Structure formats: C-alpha cells, structure tokens
Structure 1
Amino acid sequence: MSETIKIIQPASTSFPIVQGERTADLLSRFTKLDNDERENLLNETTSILSQCNNPVETVGSTTGITIGYVQSGKTMSFTTLTALAIDNGFRIVIYFAGIKNNLLEQTTKRLKKDLLTESDNSRFFKVYQSPSIKTNGHNDIKGALKLNRKPAILITVLKHTKHISELTEIFKTIEVREALGNNGVMIIDDEADQASLNTYARKNSKSEDWEDDEFSSTYSNILELRTSLPNHSYIQYTATPQAPLLINIMDLLSPKFHVVLTPGKAYTGGKTFFEDNTDLIKTIPDLEVYHHKHNPLVECPQSLIEALQLFLMGTAIVVNIQEKENFLSMMIHADREQDASKKFYNWVSNIMDNWSNRLGLPDNDPSKIELVTEFYNNYEDAIKRIDNPPTFDEVMNEVSQVLLDTNLELVIQGSREIDWSNATSHILVGAEMLNRGYTVEGLAVSYMPRYSISKSNADTIQQRCRFFGYKRNYLDSCRVYLPLDSILEYRDYVEHEEIMRTILKENSLEAVEQLLILNGSMNPTRSNILSVDVVSHKLNGWRQMNALQHIDENISFVSDFISSHTFKDFKNFGTDDRNHRYVKLEIGKVIEFLKDFKIMNMPDALRKSSTIQYLRYLAEKKDIKEAYIFEMSYAYDISKSKGTSLIDSKGGLKLNNIFSGRSTSGKEIYPGDKGIRFEDSLCVQIHKIKVKHNSMQWDKKVLYTLGIYYPEDFAHSFVGVEK
C-alpha cells in the first residue's frame, strides 16, 4: 500500500483530514466508478467526517444524517467513511446492520469483501459480529485496542435490544474502557429510520411529565450505548429521512448535520421509473391485487403470468444472447403474510415446471403451440426498447434454457442465502424479508400486488422499492408491476423526494426540520414516533432538568455564556443565595443556549427538544420574540451549600428538587425560586448545584442544571408537527 496520499481539509472541521492508505486502497478497487464518481464519493465522505467529533483524545458526541436514494450505494458510502475514519484516528466503528439476521450477515460479508479482511488488509481491520461478554468479546476488543499496529475494530450488530445491550456491557467493562480511553468511536446506523426511533413518543405525549414516559427498548439501548462512549460520532444512513427529520430536532437521535449523497451515473431510481420511463411501469388490475382478507386470490393472476414471461424473455436476451449481464432476477412481493408468499411461490413453481415440460414437447404439439403463442403475445413488449432485437425464435430457444437454469427461492425467516452466481436467473418470492435493506442483485422485473386500504406512509412505500438501483445496463428489460393506487403513490413520492432533496441540499437542518412537502394522500412516516399535545400536558408551569452527564462541558459552556452577556439584577432579597440576575434574549439566542447545553438522559432530552420546538412555534405563531435566562444565586459561594440530594428514580439517579422554597425569615419575603420569573414569558433558570449523596463518585460534586418556566397562558394544543 502507498503512504498517505493527500490532505483534504474542509473549512469546518476541527481536525486535519487525510486520505490515507486505507481509503486510497479502497477507492482504487471501486473499478465500476469512473474518476468523477470516485472523486465525488471521496468529497461527500470527507464532508461527513469533517462534521464528526475529533477522534483523538477528546470528549463529546455528535449526530449526523446521510441521505441517499433507495439502493443507491449507501453501503459503499459508509464503507468509504469507515476507511477514511480509520485513516484519521478512529479506532472503532460500530454498525447497526438492520433488524433481521440476513441483513446483519449481508453487511458483515460486504465489509469483509470490500476491506479485504481475509487477505492483504486483515492486519488493518478486525471484524466482530455480535460480540458479547459471554463470547469473550470484551477481551478480544481489549487485545485489539492494545496491539502496536492499531488495527481498526469493526463491530456489526443486529439493531435489537438484546444485541445492543450486550455490546454496551462490553464498553462498560474496565478493561475496554481503559484500553479505549477517549479515543473516537463511530456508530453507523444503517436504515436509521427503522427501529432506532422511540416508538412510544405519541403515547408519551399524553403523560404528565417525561419522567413518566416509556421508551422503546431499542431506542433506550442505543442511548445507553452512546452514554458509555465518551467520544463518539453517530451517523445515520437512510433513504427515507422523514422520521429522523420529524422527530423533535434535539432528541438524542436527532441529527445536527446532514449530507445528501449523489448516486452514481448508472443509478436508476424513482425519477427514472416514474417520470422518465413510465412505459416500464405495468398496472396490476384491481381484481388481481392480492389482500389476505379482502381479496385472497384462489388462482394465479394473469398479470403475474405475463410478468413471468417478460422476465424469462428479458433474461434470455440480456444474459444468454447479448451477454450484457451474468444473471437477472425477479422479485414477487405479494403481502406481509408468509402464507401469501407460500401461495405465490407454489403458483410460480408449478407454472415454471409446466412451461419447461411443454416447451420440451414436439413443435406440433397443441399444448406447446398454445404456450408459444402466449409468449409471442408478449414478445413485442419484451423487445420494444431494444435496438436490433433478436427474433422471436432466437428468444424462445433461450427461454427454454433459462427455465432449466432458474433458481426459485421462497425468502422468509430462516431461508438460505442466495448464491447469485450459480444460476442464469433467480425468482425471489417473499414478504417482509424482501423489504428495506435487502439487496436483490440483478433485479429486472418486480411484481408487487400489495393492497392498501388506508393512507400509505411515504417512508414505508419507498423502502419497498427494491427495483431501484444500478440497472442502466439492462433498463430496457426492466418492468415493475403495481396496483394503480401504488403507482399514483409512488409518483407522488418521487415528486416529494426530489423537492425534499433539493431543500436539504440548499438549507441547514434548522431550516428544514419541519419542511416536508407531501401529497395529502400520504402520511410522512409512522405516526407513533411523532409527539402531540406535549404543550398542554408537559410544557406548562415549572419543570427541572437533571444534567448529570457532560458535567465539565456544561460548566465550561455556562461560564463562557455568562461572561459573554450582560445580566441585570432581578431583585435584592438580602442574601447571596436569594439574589439572582437575568438577561433578556431573542428566541433564537435562547434556542442556541438550550442546544449547546448538554443533556444525555431521555426524559430531559425530550423536554429540551420539545422546548426548542415550542419556542420556534411561539416565535412564528404568537409573535413572541424574546425569553429570559436567569443566573440563580450568582454571588453565592457554592461550597457553603448543604447540597441537593441525589435520589434513585426508576433505576437511575435524579436531583431531588433544585428549587428553594418560599421564606419569610428575611427582610423581604422570598417567593421561592419558582417566583423568580416573568409571568408572561418563558424563563430558563441556570442553577449551580452541589450534590449530596452517599457515594464518593457524586457527593460534593458541583454541576449546572436548568429549571424552565412555561407560562400557563401558552399551554394550549401544540400543532407544530401537525400542520
């Protein structure tokens, strides 16, 4: 391998970025990309890395989102990001590789293949799939961290509460913590809008406070893993960012920066099919649209027979005659129920056997003549986009061979891995296993008679688009069979997607966060990850936060904030612990303060994120332009404090009560800390706290935390994400 090639230093990064030997080696092996595509891949990967945390002995975390098209090369992007991250000081990369074992295996094998872990590069990368303490994973990782050659440690894990929890336990062990120190870890969350997000958010909006909330187990475990890593960058990859962008913008999994990926020149996506080449889309008649309750078909639909014949002829032309591809595939995705998949599989199996037998009969056999006539009726469609097409007889001679060399697979839980190179054609019949993240190689014909009786989710219908991808070489033989309603939905989605990508390319996330343009027939995403009614239930009166993580960062931040603003005394109550001061700021400045004050526990992170949305809503809808930040007891010597108790709460720790009560003992009646406010304005109190606890870790520890006052008059229904 060569030495470091060049420094590629974006203006925004806090550490020098180099294209090192691992990145250069990887890029050199992407032979299907031309020079422009390789350069673009490197530039976009550099843009992602430049916004990550400095990986060398620092403390902190950040979250970003990388947005591509479905089947557009996101895996290539995060593999390149892996190499570049390792070249620039990251020691560990963790991959959340989907929610099904086949996706975990797919990702692990792809990483090993692309990074040559089984040959020349094996000393540079160590790959661990689903490590746990039971399998001695902590000792393996500790040993790898201590090796002199400093290999990169790549960890693939199922996006499942059990597996993430087991990984967290590894990073909590003393040996791994000491070996890792504050060196950088990167977490790559593939298909980030699936499973990672808190699916209880809508339900939680009805509870009285975030302390009472429930959190989906995967979401909770991801947050716990992040808390165990002192220096990490969390990068979400998705083609359907509606959910990450619509969750409260400062939620712990909500992105702080974004990069929109550019697909390669051979990519064929929604625009290709639903705008530029609409003749490739075929309508499944309403009576042939399958639904396990409303239309459980009893015999193979004619449209599927037509699709099979077009696929076989297309394969005969592209693979056997033109030799442009080694194989082609067909996907049949009928319904989420496995019984439906088995029904369609049996139909196709019987049809293929029947056709193979009949084509082997003498040419004058009536049964063969009838079948050949059926194929002939679809021949014009099969060749309509092909220059200098082969004759019908040439095609049929090869169709009989394709039938003999077709691999028919039922793709359900527990099904075998497909050997793509072992057949001329593959026909995959399946349900949810063929959904998001699953790569159907060489996919030419898709048959998807999914029946919908209600509004579809934009991100869900898009993730069924396995027929997108790098198909330019055989696009003329591609066909997509869909019900009319689905075709209309996809056309709407493609319009929405292009608008969304344009907006994302031209704006910051703050400007984009709620700006998703959708046709009224579609929901943007699954409803249970969106918050409603949080103002009337949770954003009223006084609330406190428990900032028990990132203590040193918050002390530094608050000190800088206070020194850079001019505060006014609120009122003299006679003693230092009761005298406070405040600054009046524009809403945008208050939002900046809240964004930069670190919170890493779930209830308070949700409070903080909702407060930010609420402030934006008030500024936009109620013409409220300012709010107040108070420095409480600004002249008080905190060492003299008796301390604020730290108590157990739901298995964790929280500050008992940060607000001092009402008092009549002095010259002036003290109204209590909750009386230090402006009645008609949102007020944030900065409290400097000395902790009282029976442990050496916490007792006498000094930290900053916040109290927030939400005026009762503002506690009406919040509609920020319901517009």
Structure 2
Amino acid sequence: MTDSFTKAYLAALAMMEQNGAPDDIHETAAFAGRRDSVVANDALLRSRLEQGETNDVLHTRLHLALSQWDRVADAPWTNGTAAHSPERRDLIIRLLGVDELTAKIFTDRLPYPDDHGDTVIATRANWFPWYTDEHKQQHAFYWKHYRELLERKGWGAASIDALDAATDEIIGRLADPSSSGAYQSKGLVVGYVQSGKTANFTGVVAKAVDAGYRLIIVLTGMTNLLRRQTQRRLDMELVGFENILRGVDPHDQEALDAVDYQDDEDWLAERFLRHDVRFEDSDLPAIHRLTTYEGDYRSLRQGIESLNFPKADKKLPFYAPTNLFPADAKVAVVKKNSTVLSKLVRDLHRITAKLTEIPVLIIDDESDQASVNTSNPKKWQNDRERTAINRHLSTLLRELPRAQYVGYTATPFANVFVDPSDAEDIFPKDFLIALRRPPGYMGAIDFHDLDAELEEGERSFANSREKAHVRFVDDADDDRLLLRAIDTFVLTGAMKLYREAAGAPAFRHHTMLFHEAMRTAQHREQTDRVRRLWKQAGYYSAASRDRLRKLFDEDIHSVSMARGGEDSVPESFDELLPHISDAVARIGQPDPVIVVNSDQDIVTEDADFEQRSIWRIIVGGNNLSRGFTIEGLTVSFFTRRSAAADTMMQMGRWFGFRPHYRDLVRLYISPKLYEGFEAVVRDEEFFRAELQRYSTLVDGRPQVTPEDVLPLVSQHAPWLRPTAANKMYNAEMDERRSPGIGIEHTGYPEGAADRRANVHAFSPLLAAADQKVVLHGAGAVRYPAYVGTVSHSVLLDTLSQLRWVDDEGFEPNLRWLRRLGPEKIEDWAVLFPQQNNPNETCTLLGHGPFSVFRRKRRTETSPYFAVVSEPRHRHAAERIVGMNSSSDDPEAVSLAAPRRGAITVYPLVEKDAPAVSGPDPERIVLGFRLLAPPDATVRLDGRLVTFKAKNARNRETAIRGVVHP
C-alpha cells in the first residue's frame, strides 16, 4: 500500500477531528488524496489494516479517532447515544460509511474499552462542566503535538486514549480560566510508583496551556536530580524546539552555545518536539521557560518582565478571552526548596499584572512529600503553624485566587489525612482521581503471589511471581549473595544484547540498584564493596564461566523460558557467551559503579539517563527513594527498611515499564522487607478497590467525597503505618457495609484468657456445625467440612462478645450487620473446613474433632495474622449466599437459601507453636471469614459506607488506631 494512500486516510481523520464528527471516511480520503489520484474504498482500507502492525500510524490514529468519538459526552451528531456503548459505535460505523467486513475489522482490531476509565471521587458542588468537546476541538495545539510525539515513541492507541481520557477528566475538574468568577479547585491524582505520572501531568500541562492557563508551576520533589529530569522531559516533549530557542537562529553556532541542550544526544539527533510554527508570527501562545535544565528558579531582578502578563485590550481583565488566548504561557519547573520557592513568591509580588486575574496551574509531583504540613498542633501558640514548603504553597494559593492545585502521588495516604477544614492547605477538596493500571506496567503486585491457591511445592517459575522474580537475602553482608546479584546483572545485560542481535529494540540503559542505607558514609563502603567484588568476579577469565553457566541454567534461562513470551531466549549458555564480554565491557568501563548522593568526593559521574547511555550499578539512598527514574533497572539489591508504608513503596524503584526484559527482572530482598511490601500491596489494592466501590453516583450524587475517603485507608502490617504519624488526622469509619464482600479481620489477641473467651463465644456455632459433608473448591479441589446454620441474632450475639486487638477495627462491620433486618438476612451457614489428611486436630467445648490450621503472625510480636481464610474454601460460601449459580457443589447447593450468609471458621494456632491435640481452647484462635448476601444493603439509597469523626473539635489529633480489614 502506497504512502499516499496512508497519508490520504490520515488527512481524512485529521479533517474529521477538526470538524468534530465522523464522516464518510472513503470520500474524505479520496478528496484529501486527489492530487495523487488516491483510490479509497473498503477493500483497500481492509488490506492496509490487515497488513500493518497494531501500533503503526494508521492503526493508531484510527483507533484514537474511534475511541474519542466513543466517549464524546454530548454532540449533535451522537443522536442521543450513550458514550462507550454499542449503540454509539454502531452509529460511528454508519457515519464513516464502511461496509460490514471493514466494520468487523474495526470491532476486532480497534475495540472500544469495556471499562469507563479511571476512578473518580469528587464533589459536585462548585463544579461547572466547561471543558466541552467543542472547547477541546478549538484549543488543542499543544495536546495534539504531544499526542503525536507519543505515537512516534511507540505508544499504543489504547495507552494514548487512556491518557487523553484521564487528562480530560482532570482539566474538566479545574475552573474555567476565562470565567469572570474566580474559583480555586484542588485535586489529587493517584497513580502507581513509576507508572507514567509524568506523562499524565505533561498531558495536563499541554491541555491547560491550550485551555488558557498562563502560569504553570511544576513542583518536582526535593532533589536537583529529579528537577532536572522533569525539566528535560517537559522541554523535550512539550515546550519544544522553537520555544527553547526563542528566536535564536538554529544555524548560528555561537548563539546555540547558550542553549542548555547543546551537548544532549537527543537534541543533536533532533528528537526534541518541533511545533513547526513561528510563534512570533501567529496567534498561538508560546511557552516561556522560567527555569532551564541546569537552572532552578532564580530571582529575576531586571528580567522581572518575563513574569509579566501583557494584555491585548487593557480595558478588559487578563482572563477575558481577547487577552487570554493570544497571551504566552510561562512555565517554571521548581524544586521543593524553601529558598527557591521564596524567590518565586517574592517575584510574583513584583510584577505589574494583577495576580487576581492570572489563571495559574500548580502541579505538585510527589505531593505527599514536603508539601504536607507536618507541624505538631500541640506546639502551636495561637494560629496554625506551617512547615516551610507548606507555608509557601499556602501563600501561593492565598494570593493567586485563580490558581488550581493538582497533586500527583502513588502513595496518597498523607494527602487524604490533611485537614479538610484548612482552606489554605492542599487537601483535594474537589476531586481525587485514581488512575487505572497502565498496559505493560510492572508494579508491586507483580512480585507477590497474593491469595495464591498453590502449595509451596506446586509453585514454579511459570505460575509464581515470587519464584520467578524474587531472591531472598538472609544476610545482607554475605558477599556471595551480592556477587550472585552482580552475576545476574551481567547475564541479564548479555540477554539484552542477545535480544538486540535478534531484532529487539536497542536497550539504551541497563542498571542495577544497590540500596542498603540512607547515610552517604555507608554509600562509600558499599561502593568499595561492589568494586572489590567486581574485580574478584573474574569476568574476563575462564574462572567465572562455570559460575555464570550454573546461574544461567538454574535461573535466567529457566525463568525466561517460562515467562519470556515472544522475546528471544538462547538455547544454551554457549549461545549467550559471545554477548557476556560485551556486557561486562559496557558495565565496567571505566567504573562499574555510579554513586547518587550529595557527597561529591565519591560521585565520579552523574546518573544522567537523558543525555547518555548508562550500563552501571547504582549505589545511593534518599536521592533514589522517590520520583527519580532509574532507567533500565533490571536487578535490585534492596535491604533498607522503613516504618511507613508510603515511604517503603516509594523506595521500590524496580517498578515501572520493562519492555522486552520483564522476565529478566530480579529483586534481591530480605524476607522481612518482602513481607512488608506484600502488606503495602494489600493496603494499596484495598484502597483502590474501596475507591472504585464508592465511585458510582447514586441519584446523581456522589456516595463519598474526597473528605470522606480518609477512613478507607487500611493497614495490613501493624509495624508499617500508612504514613508518618505527623501526617495522620482524626477520623474513623462509622459503618462499613460489605454485601457480597468477604470480611476477614486478622487482629486476634494472644492472651490465653482472651482466646478462651472467644472460643466460648463461638459455642452456638460449634454446636450447630454437626453435619459432616464434602464441599467443592475451585477446579477439582474437594475437602470435608462440618456445616450447620444459626440465626442472624445468634451470630450477632457471638460477634458482639469477641475480643480484638483493636476493638474499633471490626466495629464498623458489626454496626452494619446489626442494622440488617430479616428482610435482608435471616440466618447464616456455618462452615468448618477440614483438611483431607490433618496432622493436628482439636476438640472445642466437646465438639469436633476439628482440623487445626497453622497461620503466621506478621511478626514475632505482632498479634495480626497475615491471613485467615484459604481461597479454595471460598467457592462454597459464594455458592451458598447466591454469588454464583453453579451446581457443581451439591452440598453447597443444599445449604443455599435466600437471605442466608456464610461464615467460614478456622481453628488456628501460630505457625511455629507446639503441636495441638485434644481439648485446648486456651491455645486455639477461632478465625473466620464472613460473607453476607450481595443484596444485604441497609437502605435503598445504595450507600455502602458512613463516617464520623472521633473528636470533631480536635481534628488535628493524630490517629491512634487505623482500620485493619
């Protein structure tokens, strides 16, 4: 198919985008390609689509066009069809004028997404939907160029469309910059660690400039490393070649010497975005950089005019469209540093433009770091006191009434604990948006087997994420383990070079992270240790060959064969051997280590991934702990602990996108730290699930607003609180309604008296479960169980007597259960699963014998179990409460009844406790999982959660107990 054919259809799509509606695609393409006598019809278009890859330019543009038309909210051409519906897609197909065969290709290869995007928690008050499809169509210069750049970078249509939808949602929640009334919107965007949040806020900045925001302040964390990385990213992908040069002749080498990217590989290769516009000769807004790659914000002195905002019509306010849209935008990428921010605040006071008229967007990357006010309320004298960065942010928000604040973070706990009543603080009062997990992302959950139904001996590289990617470090000082990690780094580098030779895209970066401590003095010791082991490894001699061969055969090759997908894998070590020396040369010349910290005596080179290729072992601490992307990270040796879940998650630099080397990623970590990360993964998954659960509007009104999400934060590991104690404020959940959702509390007390009391509370349930049956699990799983039924009132009486480590942790669930009347729930099936070949049994209050289940406490001193129930036992409970209608479990079918819940009970003992036999209620913990029928709601209003404050008059008091699910 000729280029002219492709260009004609691309031009047709561009015309339709300009017109804002689908039209006959063949007629429009024929018109666009008339000079080249292009023939356009269904047969030729089908042939072109069938020949091309799914990420080529025509596939991508067509997919994007269809997706955008799919989600248009309301336009005359939509004829009343709902967005993201089959009816809308059918209408689009008809308007495009394609036949049934072509329409089938659209359906098969260019489908519309089943989900409706990201999770939005928002208040409806003070929100006007000004960011319409018409507005976006008229003002989209920077966004279109950014989108085209992402296409050239190889982003798929689904990823670009997801970014487009997410950024639309964010911009639409901000105030209209041309409105006569000033409103300050504040929001929070929650992504995943290393998941492309920068791409999201780059898209937001592009659309904000298009929409009329004229001062953009991007706060980028607390290190120069991260600020420069963000500055370059925005300059390269949004600001663009023309705005960087600012009229400098690109052929004048002497003038170009002043450009901050003169030695940058991507600048020299002309990879920086080009807008192909002379802004001085157009009505389009230029972007003026107030900061550069090397230079953070400085006091402008005589250059203060660069912060001014001249008006075309001085009689009208600056925000009037006549003045706003032709005006140039100013962008500052600023480190979260008190001195730097004070300069910006001071200069804003000196400009002649009225601050009250300037539409401002503040993007706060890593908004849970430094931005949150952590001053102790108990030490306040009279007025509220603020920490330095928070004080500067408060000043900006107070003195720029048209400023919009959008925080970005992957760990939002500190942000949702901010006092909502503080009008000058950063609480996201207007919206909280949880971004969906992007395609191709490798996150924390990809290193854990959560709720896996496999026994330890059944796990393999193919079915276990832990087994494939995690290597445990029992002793961080053991040189043999660190050398094995370095050997892994060498072999995975050779694997990348092997794949390059086989046709994979080039791997510009290949890195290993060595992170054990925060202090720079320890980094010196770690650096010396790595260099010593590198010299001793003998990579240039035959001495290392047997060691590397063994590691390749047992680990690298086996995992890649199981998880490498379509990526090339050598059949043997000998086939990989020629690439090993090349990998060693790249890593070791001139030094295998790059130190990233503030001690310039040991920093021999910068970790500047943007400007050059890096194959190195990265040693560092805090500078690597948040925000900064270690490109090409493949092997991590990580043993540094933290007491806060958000801090620990942010230190996980091994999360991100790993195209063509996902199977090569390895994490060397201590068992204790790994356990902590698993707890944080559960916290994160729980929080996101709760947000999704409550995001549906009821009668057009939100179930919860951002002010209500605080109690949805969970804590699965008692020693790992959600965030620092000085960021946690006072609130609690009043009632948690969980119809059709398993309730499994894990905070059981250890004292003999408490255990004995809890066993006695279960007496009615023990007596009721007097029938032994065989229940079915998933697949071919079969297991015996004692079963019976008790009334709802009997169950409530039992649950009300139980003793917990944290009494308030289970209480919200109990409040909901007490409110369920007989019209919602009459009784409960009681299930005591038994092991097929039990090693231990016990009798309880004369009932049994029951199988004993071994469970591990989170730590030696922790009363919280890691888990209570087993996934294989949940199928029967779900069948009993009506969550599935399968008939593959006749005993569960016989127990099923309307308005019946199910409680699955486990006699538990600690994993390492002595063997149990006979009656022993003082050593047994009766753990359980509750499952209420899915229609067991309290009211018809559809609300699933209610809240209350522990002490409404003292909102600043730190939380003492956090909800444990």
TM-score, scaled to structure 1 = 0.67
Distance of aligned partners of 1:246 and 1:496 in 2 relative to their CA distance in 1, 3 Å threshold: same
**Any residues of structure 2 matched to 1:72-111 within 5 Å, and which?**
72-111=195-234
- How far apart in 2 are the matches of 1:237 and 1:286? 35
For 2:288, give the aligned amino acid. K
CA contact (8 A) 2:596 2:606 kept: no
Q: Equivalent residue for 1:351? A: 533
Q: Equivalent residue for 1:126? A: 288
CA contact (8 A) 1:137 1:170 kept: no
Distance of aligned partners of 1:715 and 1:321 in 2 relative to their CA distance in 1, 3 Å threshold: closer
- How far apart in 1 are the matches of 2:575 and 2:520? 38
Q: Which sits farther off after the overlay, 435-444 or 48-57? A: 48-57
Q: Equivalent residue for 1:254? A: 427
Match of 1:245 among 399, 410, 416: 416
- How far apart in 2 are the matches of 1:173 and 1:151? 19
State the Cα distance separating 1:305 from its structure 2 match.
0.6
Match of 1:33 among 151, 155, 158: 155
Match of 2:623 among 416, 419, 433: 433
Residue aligned with 1:462, SS:
helix
Distance of aligned partners of 1:9 and 1:316 in 2 relative to their CA distance in 1, 3 Å threshold: same
Q: Equivalent residue for 2:82? A: none
Q: Equivalent residue for 1:318? A: 496
1:464 and 2:639 matched: no
- How far apart in 1 are the matches of 2:622 and 2:672? 20
Residue aligned with 1:222, SS:
helix
- How far apart in 1 are the matches of 2:358 and 2:199? 25
State the Cα distance separating 1:397 from its structure 2 match.
2.8
Identical aligned pairs, as a percentage? 23
CA contact (8 A) 1:188 1:234 kept: yes
- Per-residue displacement from partner, 1:511-566 (whole Å, max 9, x unpaired)? 32222111123201011223469xxxxxxxxxxxxxxxxxxxxxxxxxxxxxxxxx
Residue aligned with 1:473, SS:
coil
CA contact (8 A) 1:267 1:472 kept: no
Distance of aligned partners of 1:511 and 1:265 in 2 relative to their CA distance in 1, 3 Å threshold: same
1:417 and 2:594 matched: no
CA contact (8 A) 1:405 1:423 kept: no
CA contact (8 A) 2:288 2:330 kept: yes
**Any residues of structure 2 matched to 1:69-218 within 5 Å, and which?**
69-119=192-242, 120-121=274-275, 123=279, 124-129=286-291, 130-136=296-302, 138-142=304-308, 149-175=326-352, 177-178=353-354, 181-200=356-375, 203-205=376-378, 207=380, 210-211=382-383, 213-218=384-389
- How far apart in 1 are the matches of 2:444 and 2:303? 42
CA contact (8 A) 1:312 1:399 kept: yes
State the Cα distance separating 1:345 from its structure 2 match.
1.4
State the Cα distance separating 1:349 from its structure 2 match.
1.9
For 1:70, give the aligned amino acid. V
Residue aligned with 2:240, SS:
coil
**Any residues of structure 2 matched to 1:179-578 within 5 Å, and which?**
181-200=356-375, 203-205=376-378, 207=380, 210-211=382-383, 213-251=384-422, 252-256=425-429, 257-275=431-449, 277-288=465-476, 297=477, 301-323=479-501, 324=504, 325-326=506-507, 327-355=509-537, 358-361=538-541, 368-369=542-543, 371-380=544-553, 381-387=555-561, 388-406=569-587, 408-413=593-598, 415=603, 416-420=605-609, 422-423=612-613, 425-451=615-641, 456-507=643-694, 508=704, 509-519=706-716, 520-531=718-729
- How far apart in 2 are the matches of 1:425 and 1:190? 28
CA contact (8 A) 1:65 1:237 kept: yes
Q: Equivalent residue for 1:53? A: 175
- How far apart in 2 are the matches of 1:716 and 1:63? 20
For 2:634, give the aligned amino acid. A
- Per-residue displacement from partner, 1:82-111 (whole Å, max 9, x unpaired)? 111111111111101111111111111100
Distance of aligned partners of 1:70 and 1:719 in 2 relative to their CA distance in 1, 3 Å threshold: closer
Q: Equivalent residue for 1:554? A: none
CA contact (8 A) 1:187 1:234 kept: yes
- How far apart in 2 are the matches of 1:131 and 1:395? 49
For 1:126, give the aligned amino acid. H
Q: Which sits farther off after the overlay, 472-481 or 408-417? A: 408-417
CA contact (8 A) 1:117 1:126 kept: no
- Per-residue displacement from partner, 1:197-223 (whole Å, max 9, x unpaired)? 1111xx22355x652x43211111110
TM-score, scaled to structure 2 = 0.51
Distance of aligned partners of 1:149 and 1:405 in 2 relative to their CA distance in 1, 3 Å threshold: same
Residue aligned with 2:514, SS:
strand
CA contact (8 A) 2:417 2:728 kept: yes
- How far apart in 2 are the matches of 1:434 and 1:524? 20
Distance of aligned partners of 1:419 and 1:194 in 2 relative to their CA distance in 1, 3 Å threshold: closer
- Per-residue displacement from partner, 1:401-447 (whole Å, max 9, x unpaired)? 21111153111125543354755722211111111011001111111
For 1:438, give the aligned amino acid. F
For 1:27, give the aligned amino acid. R
* Unmatched segments (≥5 aa) in structure 1: 289-296, 362-367, 534-616, 622-709
Structure with the higher strand share, 1 or 2: 1
* Unmatched segments (≥5 aa) in structure 2: 1-10, 21-67, 75-123, 243-273, 280-285, 313-322, 450-463, 562-568, 695-703, 732-811, 817-948
Residue aligned with 1:53, SS:
coil
Q: Equivalent residue for 2:776? A: none
For 2:349, give the aligned amino acid. K
1:16 and 2:131 matched: yes
- How far apart in 2 are the matches of 1:376 and 1:311? 14
- How far apart in 1 are the matches of 2:556 and 2:369? 37
**Any residues of structure 2 matched to 1:629-708 within 5 Å, and which?**
none
- How far apart in 2 are the matches of 1:715 and 1:153? 41
- How far apart in 2 are the matches of 1:717 and 1:468? 34
Distance of aligned partners of 1:522 and 1:235 in 2 relative to their CA distance in 1, 3 Å threshold: same
Q: Equivalent residue for 1:694? A: none
Residue aligned with 1:156, SS:
strand
For 1:360, give the aligned amino acid. Y
For 2:331, give the aligned amino acid. L
State the Cα distance separating 1:157 from its structure 2 match.
0.9
For 1:418, give the aligned amino acid. A
State the Cα distance separating 1:318 from its structure 2 match.
1.8
Provide the aligned C-alpha RMSD in A.
Answer: 3.1
